């Protein structure tokens, strides 16, 4: 199956492509589902064929129309990874995808592909704790630096000012996490892509806009349609969706994806074939899961917002008309997602006591799985970020992050009510 119907050129929807794109059953004994290609290496028909495949893989030869990439070795390519990459790229409306051993493998491989000593990343904050650590503690060892600016309504202006300070020719990547983990703060992707154009004007290399789309994608937000060059995921989360695998993905434009694929081959940061197979299974249901999870999350968020023990609830589905964050949401999101951050009265002590009382939602980090999860970012996922910085983003010691799963909404609401009960 191709992205378009072969005779009418009718463009299929991603839900349909997730069931058929990039796979020919008759190359696998007629198996309707792609089998798991659990092999490290692939046999060549002839020595000439092997040579040709390597020339294509390493860009040693000008590519001709008739050339097709051959399977070589599972660090370079594998059918389970390739089919998944093609399907997710179609979902994001991008040229190509690349699947990694984890979301962090995706972000670190991407950073090493794009950046060289002396370069700067401008990044919206907050970001996931692991990304923060990479940008603040690992990349500086390679003389690559990050300026974090508040994610929100005027991030483009703050980034513009930061670029002017360091010198625009030093800026190579604008990195966004929108909505941000854990605060759900949103950044207008289009305004950042426009800034990237502005900073690239007259320069010999393009400033890349990269968006971590883990919270909303691929269902409720398509950053490439708003001008992003690269879309990043922790596929461990909603895409995998069953809390049974760790993986990451990047999708984007062909030229930069080719560079990324080569770096992945050399660093060996690809996903393994079985994770690729699991991801293919998961992609078939991601739309149904995410829509149902978001419906339930809306109900839970409304209940929390009305609860006397809750100071504030950060959830896109509760943003009011007139709020600039709501305008960003209306522009680039088609649903509110399933992540809720809510602050419990009484700080860390009260939040810990509540977390210990949940029975349906599990007390665990991660998100996007079929089961609901609760955790305390301040002292768990984001504990590496200095407290004063976290507090400036509204991530206080009493802020709980909840990932809403597929349980019955009534049971989850009941679970929240009993967890929030004061003794």
Instruction: Using the CB atoms, write b or e for 252-284: b if 16+ within 10 Å.
Output: bbeebbeebbebbbebebbbbbebbbbbbebbe
Residue 229 interacts with ligand PLP (CB under 6 A)? Answer: no
* DSSP secondary structure string for all residues of 168-199: GGGEEEEEEESSPTTT-----HHHHHHHHHHH
Closer residue to ligand PLP in complex, CB, 123/246: 246
Select the residue interacting with ligand PLP from 82, 94, 102, 275 (CB under 6 A). Answer: 102
191 makes contact with ligand PLP (CB under 6 A): no
- Asked if 382 interacts with ligand PLP (CB under 6 A), we say no
Could you tell me which stretch among 3-11, 64-72, 127-135, 186-194 binds ligand PLP (CB under 6 A)? Answer: 127-135
Q: Is 369 in the site for ligand PLP (CB under 6 A)?
A: no
Alpha carbon distance 136, 156 (integer Å): 21
- Closest by CA position to 125, among listed 394, 423, 413: 394
Give the interface size with ligand PLP as a residue count (CB under 6 A): 14
Cα–Cα distance measured from residue 264 to residue 57, given in angstroms and rounded to the nearest whole number:
12
Closest C-alpha among 219, 290, 257 to residue 14: 219
DSSP for 355-407 reads: HHH-SSSEE-S--SSSS-EEE-GGGTTTTTS-HHHHHHTT--TTEEEEE--SS
Among 72, 104, 340, 374, binds ligand PLP (CB under 6 A): 104
181/293 with CB nearer ligand PLP: 181
> Using the rule CB under 6 A, is 335 a contact of ligand PLP?
no
Nearest 5°: CA angle at 156, between 234 and 376?
Answer: 40
Closest to ligand PLP by CB, 102 vs 222, is 102
Under the binding rule (CB under 6 A), the answer on residue 398 touching ligand PLP is no
- Tell whether residue 213 is a contact of ligand PLP (CB under 6 A): no
Q: Does 177 bind ligand PLP (CB under 6 A)?
A: yes
Interface pick for ligand PLP out of 85, 212, 343, 415 (rule CB under 6 A): 212
Q: Report the C-alpha gap between 318 and 305 in whole angstroms.
A: 9
In the structure, how many helices (H) and strands (E) does the chain have? 14, 12
Regarding 112 and contact with ligand PLP (CB under 6 A), the answer is no
Tell me which of 34, 79, 97, 130 binds ligand PLP, using CB under 6 A: 130
Task: For residues 49 and 62, give the distance between their C-alpha atoms in angstroms, rounded to a whole number.
Answer: 16
Find the binder of ligand PLP among 109, 181, 191, 272 (CB under 6 A).
181
Q: How far is the CB of 246 from ligand PLP (least distance, A)?
A: 5
Which of 21/105 has CB closer to ligand PLP? 105
Residues that bind ligand PLP (CB under 6 A): 102-104, 128, 130-131, 177, 181, 212, 214, 234, 236, 246, 248
């Amino acid at each position: 199956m191709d992205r378009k119907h072969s005779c009418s050129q009718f463009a299929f929807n991603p839900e349909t492509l997730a069931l058929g794109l990039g796979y020919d059953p008759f190359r696998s004994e007629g198996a309707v589902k792609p089998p798991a290609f659990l092999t490290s290496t692939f046999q060549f028909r002839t020595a000439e064929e092997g040579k040709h495949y390597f020339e294509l893989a390493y860009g040693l030869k000008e590519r001709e129309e008739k050339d097709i990439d051959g399977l070589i070795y599972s660090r370079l390519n594998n059918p389970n990874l390739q089919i998944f990459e093609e399907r997710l790229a179609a979902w994001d409306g991008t040229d190509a995808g690349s699947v990694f051993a984890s979301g962090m493998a995706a972000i670190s491989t991407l950073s090493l592909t794009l950046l060289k000593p002396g370069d700067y990343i401008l990044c919206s904050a907050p970001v996931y704790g692991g990304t923060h650590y990479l940008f603040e503690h690992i990349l500086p060892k390679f003389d690559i630096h990050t300026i974090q600016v508040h994610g929100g309504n005027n991030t483009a202006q703050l980034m513009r000012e930061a670029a002017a300070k360091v010198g625009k020719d030093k800026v190579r990547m604008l990195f966004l996490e929108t909505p941000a983990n854990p605060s759900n703060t949103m950044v207008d992707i289009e305004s950042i892509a426009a800034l990237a154009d502005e900073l690239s004007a007259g320069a010999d290399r393009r400033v890349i806009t990269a968006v971590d789309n883990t919270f909303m994608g691929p269902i409720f937000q398509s950053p490439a349609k708003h001008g992003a060059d690269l879309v990043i995921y922790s596929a461990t989360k909603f895409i995998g969706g069953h809390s049974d695998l760790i993986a990451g993905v990047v999708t984007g434009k062909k030229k930069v994806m080719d560079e990324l694929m080569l770096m992945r081959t050399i660093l060996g940061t690809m996903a393994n074939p079985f994770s690729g197979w699991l991801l293919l299974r998961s992609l078939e249901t991601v739309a149904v899961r995410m829509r149902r999870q978001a419906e339930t999350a809306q109900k839970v968020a409304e209940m929390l917002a009305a609860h006397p023990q809750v100071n504030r609830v950060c959830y896109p589905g509760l943003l009011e008309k007139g709020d600039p964050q709501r305008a960003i949401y209306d522009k680039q999101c088609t649903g509110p997602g399933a992540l809720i951050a809510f602050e419990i009265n009484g700080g860390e002590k009260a939040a810990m006591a509540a977390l210990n009382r949940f029975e349906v939602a599990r007390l665990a980090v991660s998100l996007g799985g079929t089961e609901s999860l609760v955790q305390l970012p301040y002292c768990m996922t984001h504990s590496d970020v200095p407290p004063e910085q976290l507090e400036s983003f509204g991530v206080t010691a009493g802020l709980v992050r909840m990932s809403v799963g597929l349980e019955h909404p009534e049971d989850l609401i009941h679970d929240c009510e009993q967890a929030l009960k004061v003794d």
